[in-house]
C-alpha cells in the first residue's frame, strides 16, 4: 500500500470502548474518486470506523495508522484541516435537528460552519441542486414538509457545500421507499462522476453495491473482505454460478440429503419451495447433481441457472463465517 497516493489509508485500526473491541485489525486503502460501500449487519462496526475517519472518536479509544487526504485524525490540531476536506451525511433520523429549516437557510448555516462565503455557497448549492434535480420551488420549502427522498438529496447537497474531496454517507437509502432507493444511488453516482468526489457509503442495504467500485464487508468489527463486487462474486465456487431448484415439499432432511453430494458447497433456502445450490465445477457436475437428487426421490419442479447477486454473496460469506465459528 502506498499511503501517499491513497486518499484514505487505514492500517490495523482497532477501536475499543471500555473492554469492548468494536473494530478489529481493519486495514484498507482507497484511491481518489472511488465509491466504497461498507456493508454489514447492524452492530458490525461500520459507523464506528467511519466516525474515526471523520474525527468523531477520541484518540484514546483507537489505535492504528489512519490517514485522510494524507492527514492523520490522531491529533486534534489536524481536525479542522480534515473536516474542511470531508463531508458527512448522517443517517436520516439525525437530520431532525434541521427539519425546521428551509434548504436555502440550511445552506447559510452550513456555509458559515465551513467558512464558505455565502455568495459562493449559493452558487455551489445551485449547481448541486441542479445535479440532484431539486426544483427551485422546493428550496424555500421547510425540510419537514419534504419526502424522504427529497430530504436525503438536500442533505447530500449540504454535505457537499464546502466542495470536499470525500463524502461519507451513513445509510443513505435507509428510510427511503424501496422504489426510490435506486434513484438516490444513481444521484450519488452522478455526483461522483461530475465532481470526482470519493465516497464512502455505509449500508446494510446490499442494493448499494450496484454503484460501488469496491465493497468492504464487516462482521463483528472485522473486515471480512474488501474488493470489487464482481470479483467477490466470482470468488465463489464456479465463479458464482447458482443452480436454483423448485422442489416439492422441501425439508431439512432433503437438504441434508442433497449436501451428501460431494461437489455441493452451499445450499440456501430462498423461498418456501426454492433452494439455491452452489457447486464446484458447475458444468461438469450439474447433471450429476440432478441425477443424484432424482435417485434420492427428490422431485424437482423447476430448475434455472443464475449468477449470484451481491446480496447472495454477502449472505454466503457471512454464513461461512458463522459456520467457522460454530466448528471452532
Ligand atoms: N460510543 C460507544 N460506546 C460504546 N459502545 C459503542 C459506541 N459506539 C458504538 N458502540 C458499539 O459498537 C458496536 C458497533 O456499532 P456501530 O459501529 O454503530 O455498528 P454499525 O454501524 O455497523 O451498525 C455496537 O455493538 C455498538 O453498540
Ligand atoms: Mg451504523
DSSP sequence for 239-278: GGEEEEEEETT--HHHHHHHHTSTTEEEEEE-SSSEEEEE
Q: What is the mean pLDDT of the chain?
A: 91
% the chain with pLDDT above 90: 66
Pocket-testing residue among 14, 20, 22, ligand 1, by greatest number of atoms within 8 A of Cβ: 22
Beta strands in the chain (DSSP E): 8-17, 20-30, 35-39, 62-68, 86-89, 166-170, 198-203, 214-219, 222-227, 241-247, 264-269, 274-279, 300-307
Q: Whose CA is nearest to atom 6 of ligand 1?
A: 17
User: What is the C-alpha separation between 295 and 128, in angstroms, rounded?
Assistant: 62
Count of C-beta atoms within a 10 Å radius of residue 179 = 8
Q: Give the pLDDT confidence score for residue 100 in this predicted structure.
A: 63
119 against 2, higher pLDDT: 119
Q: Give the pLDDT confidence score for residue 26 in this predicted structure.
A: 98
199, 232, 217, 208: which is closest to 45 by C-alpha?
217
Q: Give the pLDDT confidence score for residue 259 in this predicted structure.
A: 95
Contact between 9 and 65 under an 8 Å Cβ cutoff? The reply is yes
Contact between 277 and 245 under an 8 Å Cβ cutoff? The reply is yes
User: What is the C-alpha separation between 56 and 173, in angstroms, rounded?
Assistant: 22
Write down all domains in the chain, each with its CATH number in brackets: 8-232 (3.40.50.300), 237-307 (3.30.70.100)
Residue 87: band (very low, low, confident or very high) from pLDDT cuts 50, 70, 90? very high
Min mean pLDDT across 30-44, 122-136, 195-209 is at 122-136
Considering every ligand atom shown, identify the ligand nearest to the alpha carbon of residue 218 and give its number: 1
Q: Cell 467558512 maps to which residue?
A: 115
What sign has the CA pseudo-torsion 184, 190, 192, 195?
Answer: negative
Q: Give the contacts of 63 (CB within 8 A, at least 6 positions apart).
A: 12, 13, 14
The Å distance, Cα 261 to ligand 1 centre, comes to 41
- Predicted TM-score (pTM) of this structure: 0.91
C-alpha cell at 51: 466516525
The Å distance, Cα 207 to ligand 2 centre, comes to 16
Residue 95: band (very low, low, confident or very high) from pLDDT cuts 50, 70, 90? low
User: What is the C-alpha separation between 202 and 91, in angstroms, rounded?
Assistant: 10
Q: Whose CA is nearest to atom 5 of ligand 1?
A: 17
Mean pLDDT computed over 294-303? 95
Residue 243: band (very low, low, confident or very high) from pLDDT cuts 50, 70, 90? very high
End-to-end Cα, the chain, rounded Å: 32
SS3 152: helix
Q: Give the pLDDT confidence score for residue 33 in this predicted structure.
A: 97
14 against 146, higher pLDDT: 14
149 against 73, higher pLDDT: 73
C-alpha cell at 269: 433456502
C-alpha cell at 114: 465551513
Residue 94: band (very low, low, confident or very high) from pLDDT cuts 50, 70, 90? low
C-alpha cell at 230: 464482481
Pocket-testing residue among 39, 43, 46, ligand 1, by greatest number of atoms within 8 A of Cβ: 43
111 against 67, higher pLDDT: 67
Give the model confidence (pLDDT) of 26-50 as tens digits.
999 999 999 999 999 989 999 999 9
255, 261, 309, 312: which is closest to 282 by C-alpha?
261
The Å distance, Cα 65 to ligand 2 centre, comes to 22
Q: Give the pLDDT confidence score for residue 4 in this predicted structure.
A: 61
Q: Give the pLDDT confidence score for residue 101 in this predicted structure.
A: 67
* Pocket of ligand 1, beta carbon within 6 A: 17, 20, 22, 40, 42-48
The Å distance, Cα 18 to ligand 1 centre, comes to 12
Cβ-count burial 14-49 (b if 16+ within 10 Å, e if not): bbeeeeeebbbebebbbeeebbbbbbbeeebbbbbb
Residue 1: band (very low, low, confident or very high) from pLDDT cuts 50, 70, 90? very low
Considering every ligand atom shown, identify the ligand nearest to the alpha carbon of residue 39 and give its number: 1
- Tell me: pLDDT of 136 over 60: yes
- Tell me: pLDDT of 97 over 80: no
User: What is the C-alpha separation between 3 and 18, in angstroms, rounded?
Assistant: 30
What's 223's DSSP letter?
Answer: E
Amino acid at each position: 500500500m502506498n499511503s501517499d497516493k491513497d486518499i484514505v489509508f487505514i492500517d490495523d485500526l482497532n477501536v475499543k470502548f471500555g473492554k469492548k473491541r468494536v473494530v478489529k485489525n481493519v486495514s484498507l486503502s482507497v484511491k481518489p474518486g472511488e465509491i466504497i460501500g461498507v456493508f454489514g449487519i447492524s452492530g458490525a462496526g461500520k459507523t464506528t470506523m467511519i466516525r474515526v475517519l471523520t474525527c468523531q472518536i477520541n484518540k484514546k479509544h483507537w489505535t492504528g495508522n489512519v490517514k485522510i487526504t494524507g492527514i492523520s485524525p490522531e491529533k486534534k490540531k489536524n481536525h479542522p484541516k480534515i473536516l474542511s476536506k470531508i463531508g458527512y451525511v448522517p443517517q436520516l433520523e439525525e437530520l431532525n435537528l434541521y427539519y425546521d429549516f428551509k434548504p436555502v437557510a440550511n445552506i447559510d448555516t452550513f456555509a458559515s460552519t465551513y467558512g464558505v462565503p455565502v455568495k459562493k455557497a449559493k452558487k455551489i448549492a445551485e449547481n448541486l441542486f441542479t445535479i440532484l434535480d431539486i426544483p427551485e420551488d422546493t428550496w424555500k420549502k421547510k425540510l419537514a414538509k419534504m419526502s424522504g427522498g427529497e430530504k436525503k438529496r438536500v442533505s447530500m447537497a449540504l454535505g457537499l457545500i464546502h466542495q470536499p474531496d470525500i463524502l461519507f454517507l451513513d445509510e443513505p437509502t435507509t428510510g427511503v421507499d424501496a422504489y426510490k432507493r435506486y434513484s438516490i444511488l444513481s444521484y450519488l453516482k452522478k455526483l461522483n462522476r461530475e465532481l470526482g468526489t470519493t465516497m464512502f457509503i455505509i449500508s446494510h442495504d446490499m442494493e448499494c453495491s450496484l454503484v460501488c467500485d469496491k465493497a468492504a464487508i464487516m462482521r463483528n468489527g472485522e473486515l471480512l473482505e474488501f474488493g470489487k463486487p464482481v470479483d467477490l462474486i466470482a470468488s465463489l465456487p464456479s465463479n458464482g454460478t447458482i443452480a436454483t431448484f423448485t422442489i416439492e415439499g422441501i425439508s431439512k432432511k432433503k437438504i441434508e440429503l442433497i449436501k451428501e453430494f460431494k461437489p455441493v458447497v452451499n445450499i440456501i433456502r430462498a423461498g418456501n419451495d426454492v433452494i439455491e445450490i452452489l457447486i464446484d465445477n458447475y458444468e461438469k457436475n450439474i447433471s450429476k447433481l440432478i441425477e443424484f437428487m432424482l435417485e434420492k426421490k427428490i422431485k424437482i419442479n423447476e430448475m434455472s441457472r443464475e449468477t449470484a447477486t451481491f446480496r447472495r454473496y454477502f449472505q454466503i460469506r457471512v454464513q461461512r463465517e458463522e459456520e467457522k465459528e460454530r466448528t471452532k
